[in-house]
Structure 1
Amino acid sequence: MIQTMIVKLTKDVNVEEIKKADMGPYYAIRDTAVYPADSTGNPWTASYVSSTGDPIADLYNDMAAEKKAKAVYENLLKLTDDALLKDALRFLLEREIVHFKRFGEALRSVEEYNQSKRIY
């Protein structure tokens, strides 16, 4: 969604505005195309998605990722004064909060299951 926001914000931008925003190197390689990358230009890679096979470790990892995403949205909100963009970012931020809570609930369920007595 963030990449879509960037495309929408830059679709009618002229080259002079791109230069002024110090986005010349990005434009030279990609024009205004969507290119999933972090703020320093590192491309998205599947290595960002990790799984250990241990549901407790994976749920903690998922919860940490949600907290990191929330922090990114909070920082992005500070970087714009566009009201519509802020609304979209607030929605995404709230979604991260809900995801964090749901992963926490799942973690409690797994921990309760692991601590329960099983009779076979």
Structure 2
Amino acid sequence: METLDFTGVSGFHRLLHSGGPDGEMGASMRYLSQRFTMPNRKAMGILNDIGTEELAHLEMVATIIHQLTRGLSPEEIQKAGFAPYYVDHTIGIWPQAAGGIPFNACEFQSKGDPITDLHEDLAAEQKARSTYDNILRLVKEPDVVEPIRFLRAREIVHFQRFGEALRTVQDQLDSKNFYAFNPSFDAPVSCSCPSCTKK
């Protein structure tokens, strides 16, 4: 991909949601942290797979941003509203929200309750899809639109996979209804790691 028409993107900062509350950085950390307390291997594997994929998505967004910003003149930097970012990072990639707030660990949660965590994961994927919808409304550059469409489609797949994980957890808890709480809350804590399941 050649250096893209930066002005056609109307400011690359609209893509910088990767470090925001609904971005890939928080998603990957959320899922990779929550996987340890999933009560079965399938749910644990789903969180591991999606958490790893979110890191790949982070790389894709960072690559797009790099390609949009490399070789910009000082005038282009000013015109695009990129100057405040440039002062702090030049054209280095830094995870932050579209509004300029840097990534921090407050962007995700891991409660240790699989029902709670999986509901959060389902909501996170919906919010990420909505964010990509918003980006697609603003960006018209084909070399940006196509990968963003791909990433949006993956958020839908992730939502479905988290639904599968939630179902396996509910089946294991023998609760066929969609509870907003874990009916085994007062039960002893366990995980699915081999050392725990042998006991």
TM-score of the pair, normalised by structure 1: 0.90
Residue 12 of structure 1 corresponds to 71
Residue 163 of structure 2 corresponds to 104
Which protein has greater RCO, CA pairs closer than 8 Å, 6+ apart?
2
Residue 181 of structure 2 corresponds to none
Residue 42 of structure 1 corresponds to 101
State the secondary structure of the residue aligned to 1:40: coil
TM-score of the pair, normalised by structure 2: 0.56
CA deviations 1:38-88 (Å, max 9, x no partner) are 011111122323111110100000111111111111111122111121110
Identity %: 45
4+ aligned runs moved over 6 Å, structure 1: none
For the aligned residue pairs, the C-alpha RMSD in angstroms reads 1.3
Offset, 1:4: 2.3
Offset, 1:102: 0.3
CA deviations 1:89-110 (Å, max 9, x no partner) are 0110001000000001111111
Structure 2 stretches of 5 or more lacking a match? 1-59, 176-199
Structure 1 stretches of 5 or more lacking a match? none
Correspondence 1:81 to 2:140: yes
Offset, 1:3: 2.5
Match of 2:121 among 50, 62, 79: 62
